[in-house]
Structure 1
Amino acid sequence: MLRAGGILIVSDHASNRVPSDIELGIDPALLSEHIAVDIGVAQVAEIMVREAGFSAFLGNVSRLVCDFNREEHQPATIPIASDGHAIPGNAIDHAGHEERLARFFRPYHDALAELLDASPPALILSLHSFTPVLASHPEEKRPWECGVLYNSDDRGARLAIPLLEAAGLVVGDQQPYSGKLLNATMNRHAEAHGRSYFGIEVRQDMIADAQGQARWATILTDVAKRVALALD
């Protein structure tokens, strides 16, 4: 349970679950890849919440069913393609789109808003992971071990980046994505309310196994604590 003044981990893409009544029309093997789930983040969050003062709010369906880290009516909220793979089951009409929003998107954001209002945290950690190589752009190098994302409010990010670098990590500032463009959940629930946060993207090969997950849970727990204390 989130305690007021604690640290809340929010992970929009923690699950690869596809409800049995939704047929995406893809090879099931793709559900284990980055287009369907942020690999490793659920396991990292599970370890982190063992620490006093930490709680987690995790998405419970695949981003291919509904991507919570988008604006409600963006095409990518229910994607028809991802990293070169067509998602034919998402070629749905307006009524089908509305049904997905009502079933998944709005309840997710309503529940998160209610939680944050009831127990305002000292810090929100937006936890994601990224693939080392995009299949659609194999020539693009992604050397960062993690990236820190933010939009207008960079208070948490400016504290987190040097702490992560001090841990010996190769850290991207707005890499491999920019929070100016991909920050919908934090824009809505953190920046719009003046809540302190930072976004973290961990490269998926770093947290693909139990050893890596444990290592990164330790790193992120320490960094989040230090950021929260510095912002207090």
Structure 2
Amino acid sequence: MTVPFTLIPARDSDVLIVADHASAHVPDDIDLGIDPALMDSHIAIDIGVAQVARMLCARLGCGAILGGASRLVIDLNREEDAPGLIPLESDGHVIAGNAGVDRQARIDRFYRPYHAAVTQALDGMARPFILSLHSFTPALSSRDEDRPWHVGVLYNRDDRAARIAIPMLARAGLHVGDQLPYSGTILNATMNRHAEARGIPYLGVEMRQDLTGDASGQARFVDYLAPVIEACRNALA
């Protein structure tokens, strides 16, 4: 039976890492109707996120909640009524198996337990700070666009952590995208719900996937992000 999320308990920190797209898992009873090779690509998973999250937890003593099913099964970073919650297409690939599925059954099975776990974890923290961790592909198949950033920082209305993180990441030698390659004013459902709606400070980070595809790149991002998380938490939480 598929577990809708993985919980890494915090040791001695009120930082919670939330990773909506940390898994490429598809339960045996779900057939997406796509080439299995696509399950290793960006359309199925945020490459490198689970590994970076686990290493940050080990270094900082923080906790994490990692999504347990592929974003092609259900996109946890969407509102329940969003058209893309159960995607019918991703970067030019038709997800034929999602046509006509029982939408409510997938919400009840994956989406609500995941978000309930995030709520419960935050409720147990005195002064929580959230790191929302994602990764992005350096090139889309369906669009011709330049994506030179090493890391993107996303937010909606609350940009407090972003204003701390962006100069720190730039000083570390990274090419930082402010609200790039995606805008948190558009794609920020999980943080809108668990952070902004509750007044909890957070940092949204997108790492470039060609830099997080192996252990050495993942370790470098841990080195980049750990001091940024500590600085944001100390200033805001």
Is the pair's TM-score, using the shorter chain for normalization, greater than 0.5?
yes
Q: Which residue of 2 aligns with 1:55?
A: 63
* Counterpart-to-counterpart distance in 2, 1:9 and 1:157: 16
Q: For 1:43, give the aligned amino acid.
A: Q
Change (3 A) 1:3 1:148: same
Q: Which residue of 2 aligns with 1:35?
A: 43
> Per the alignment, in what secondary structure is the counterpart of residue 205 of structure 2?
strand
Displacement after TM superposition at 1:121 (Å):
4.6
Q: Which residue of 1 aligns with 2:178?
A: 173
1:1-232 mapped onto 2 (5 Å cutoff): 1-2=9-10, 6-93=14-101, 96-137=102-143, 139-232=144-237
Answer whether contact 2:60 2:226 (CA < 8 A) is retained.
Answer: no
Unaligned stretches of 5+ in structure 2?
1-8
> Per the alignment, in what secondary structure is the counterpart of residue 135 of structure 2?
strand
Displacement after TM superposition at 1:51 (Å):
1.7
Could you give the per-residue CA deviations for residues 37-89 of structure 1, whole angstroms, max 9, x where no partner exists?
Answer: 00000011111111243111100100000100000011111000000000011
Displacement after TM superposition at 1:221 (Å):
1.0
The runs of 4+ residues in structure 1 deviating greater than 6 Å are none
Displacement after TM superposition at 1:188 (Å):
0.1
Displacement after TM superposition at 1:2 (Å):
2.8
* Counterpart-to-counterpart distance in 1, 2:29 and 2:173: 46
> Per the alignment, in what secondary structure is the counterpart of residue 59 of structure 2?
coil
Answer whether contact 2:13 2:63 (CA < 8 A) is retained.
Answer: no
Q: For 2:82, give the aligned amino acid.
A: Q
- CA RMSD, Structure 1 to Structure 2 (Å): 1.2
* Counterpart-to-counterpart distance in 2, 1:52 and 1:230: 16
Displacement after TM superposition at 1:33 (Å):
0.2
* Counterpart-to-counterpart distance in 2, 1:190 and 1:2: 18
Answer whether contact 1:40 1:209 (CA < 8 A) is retained.
Answer: yes
> Per the alignment, in what secondary structure is the counterpart of residue 50 of structure 1?
helix
Identical pairs, percent: 58
Query: Normalising by the residue count of structure 1, what TM-score does the alignment of the two structures yield?
Result: 0.96
* Counterpart-to-counterpart distance in 2, 1:112 and 1:51: 21
Displacement after TM superposition at 1:122 (Å):
3.5
State the number of aligned residues.
Answer: 229
Q: For 1:6, give the aligned amino acid.
A: D
Displacement after TM superposition at 1:115 (Å):
1.1
* Counterpart-to-counterpart distance in 2, 1:53 and 1:43: 15
Unaligned stretches of 5+ in structure 1?
none
* Counterpart-to-counterpart distance in 2, 1:51 and 1:120: 21
Identify which range, 1-10 or 59-68, moves more after superposition.
Answer: 1-10
Answer whether contact 1:4 1:119 (CA < 8 A) is retained.
Answer: no
